[in-house]
Amino acid sequence: MAQEQGADTLSAVKYDKGKSDGSLPWVVVDWVDSATEHRWVTVTVAKEISPYRCRSVGMLVAESLDHVILTLVETLHDEKDQHFKMVSDPLSIPRVAITRMRRFPRP
């Protein structure tokens, strides 16, 4: 797994709460998810099922040793405040499912 210049890998992820101005860092998270066939299939077909490879892009809302929480939108509601109060469609991804996480500076 090659490390991209200017990007953190999972092993180098720092546990922070964003910048002191309340802004949230942009991240790209590569992760794996369970896969299924929602129908009856032969054993041969079942043996071919493999986990889905996913890529989510968004703002990092929170993280812990167990998981990260992203918001998958580019717009946040700020209620006339410098600090974000609401996010849309938060997604919690278990760390064991994350294969790579890259952070990017805010423009």
85: confidence class by pLDDT, cuts 50, 70, 90: low
Residues ≥6 apart with Cβ < 8 Å to 81: none
Q: How far apart are CA 68 and CA 82, in angstroms?
A: 23
Q: Is 22 left (phi over 0), alpha (psi -120 to 50) or beta?
A: left
What pLDDT shows up at residue 71?
76
CA 61 to chain centre: 10
pTM: 0.67
The side-by-side arrangement of strands in the sheet containing 67-71 is 90-94, 67-71, 52-63, 26-33, 98-104
pLDDT 10s digits, 10-69? 333 344 444 445 577 889 999 999 999 989 999 999 999 999 999 998 888 888 989 988
